[in-house]
Structure 1
């Protein structure tokens, strides 16, 4: 701590230094966003741009479904969000905690066995692995249902016109004149590409890099020469940042999009949580319950509460 900071603390003054950098970043982001909005609004005054948007309004017919959003997709959405929230939380704790509250050692009696004595890991890392496993299990169920019901068409580009539709959607969002809300049967091009990246690129990357850094990865595997742990580590954290950015934008667009479309706050919530296109109240109630569950999970996902469970699969020690 420098002398000026010490003097401020002694005199009772407030130290603004820690907030300068975040404030500059936030201010810069707002300026960039304002410029993008201004440019998009100006572009939409040009007839060729408006003609392009009329030709590609946002939704590709190749990605349309007739069945709406099934109930299982809503449950999968909640479980994925729940596990992802706790994975991100525990992942941050693994990176930032200097002195873990406890450690866990595997009993080496399960399906996966290691040579020599099992390695000791922090309880934060063990909890992180547990939610990773639950997230992967949920993902496997999701993939099976997605491709066995035809719902894959929602998020897998089925025609090259998805790209101009995505550009059109981006222009409409940026100009504050948003594309038509048709999420019940057809996502717009930008949504399709975003969900495809999350489900089929970012999620597998997160899994493969996480496995490479875990203690269950074989140390003498031949692939290690081409896929060293530092490479996995360099990919894993940025992937988490991508998830955080996606979640922030996704949640914002869910609520703002419902209002812009004239459906009220519960417009999109009824799709995702109530599997309905005309029951906003039920969707909002189920959303509120899910938030309570997530907050409870955030509070309970700690070594002090999960030690008894950890002891069933290994040994917890200080």
Structure 2
């Protein structure tokens, strides 16, 4: 058997093994979901479960002075955050594939006269990943500033430990397929509050810190390099990305199963209404993201990158 035929055979076996793994994973996931739903329904219908939900309904009254409603700037933030995250995840998977990049970018140091280090050669997908990261961080900083400037932080930052049992109650209600009664225009349920807090103040900072550690911005030697080992940064960065994917999946599913028209109007048009305008705006945002996904191909990326340096390959 020739070397080429041997590689082809190994590749075919690897694909078969991968398909079997995907199939078994999907089957086990379905079984796990069914078990969780049945267990949650049993717990909810038990006397102890009924008492627990009666004591902790899943919603904590907001602090005095909490603004009602979702402002227009939050809708724009929601779109921009989704736009950058989708492309960041895509380029992240491209980087993890460890395939040779279709091009390499080298910065033009004449435009950065204060830079003493020699320019680093970056794969075109890593170049795009870093730029997307920069825009996502800038958008995140603006979001946090507006969050505290407008008082919207009161909607997602827990101020009482009673949020914990209420979050457990909300999770039990979701798992039993009997959604908690809520009005997110006024207050998020406790589980939503903890999830949004975790995304904004835990997952996002972890993604930024570990991303910086893995980038060319971080000093390769010295105290900073020793303070955050590269191996630790890699071990944290990828799971954080998976967390964002899982959060987004659950978020989208719940939006479309708990009153999609009203939720989309709140999220994208800053209106507490049940008309179709929010869905139209959401659909338009999906089209914009899809177009960006299609256009983010090596030929266009190389032309854009060439404006700031040299691109080869």
TM-score, normalised via structure 2 length: 0.91
1:177 counterpart SS class? coil
The separation in 1 between residues aligned to 2:301 and 2:221, in whole angstroms, is: 32
SS in 2 for 1:118: coil
Distance in 2 (CA, whole Å) between partners of 1:49 and 1:182 is 23
Tell me the secondary structure at the aligned position of residue 109 of structure 2: coil
Aligned-CA RMSD value: 2.1
Selected match of 1:281 from 273, 276, 283: 276
Q: Using the alignment, how far apart are the partners of 1:2 and 1:170 within structure 2?
A: 52
Q: What is the number of equivalent residue pairs in this alignment?
A: 304
- On the 8 A contact 1:63/1:157 being kept in 2, the answer is no
Partner of 1:12: none
Matched, 1:204 2:199: no
1:301 matched residue in structure 2: 296
Question: Which residue of 2 is the match for residue 67 of structure 1?
Answer: 68
User: Contact (CA 8 Å) 1:155, 1:193: kept in 2 or not?
Assistant: yes
Moved more, 134-143 or 108-117: 108-117
Structure 1 alignment gaps of length 5 or more: 10-14, 259-264
Task: Tell which deviates more after alignment, 282-291 or 213-222.
Answer: 213-222
Superposed, which structure 2 residues align to 1:182-193 within 5 Å?
A: 182-193=183-194
After superposition, the Cα gap between the structure-2 partners of 1:111 and 1:207, relative to the gap in structure 1 and judged at 3 Å, is: farther
Q: CA deviation at 1:207?
A: 0.6
How far does residue 18 in structure 1 lie from its aligned partner after superposition? 3.3
> Who is 1:142 aligned against?
143
Gaps of 5+ in 2: none
Range with greater deviation from structure 2 (267-276 or 223-232)? 223-232
TM-score (norm 1): 0.90
Take 1:17 and 1:224, find their aligned partners in 2: how far apart are those partners? 39
Larger deviation: 152-161 or 74-83? 152-161
TM superposition shift of 1:313: 1.8
Provide Cα deviations, 1:255-282, integer angstroms capped at 9, x if missing partner. 0121xxxxxx312111101110115311
1:269/1:280 contact within 8 Å kept: no
Counterpart Cα distance in 1 of 2:34 and 2:63: 32
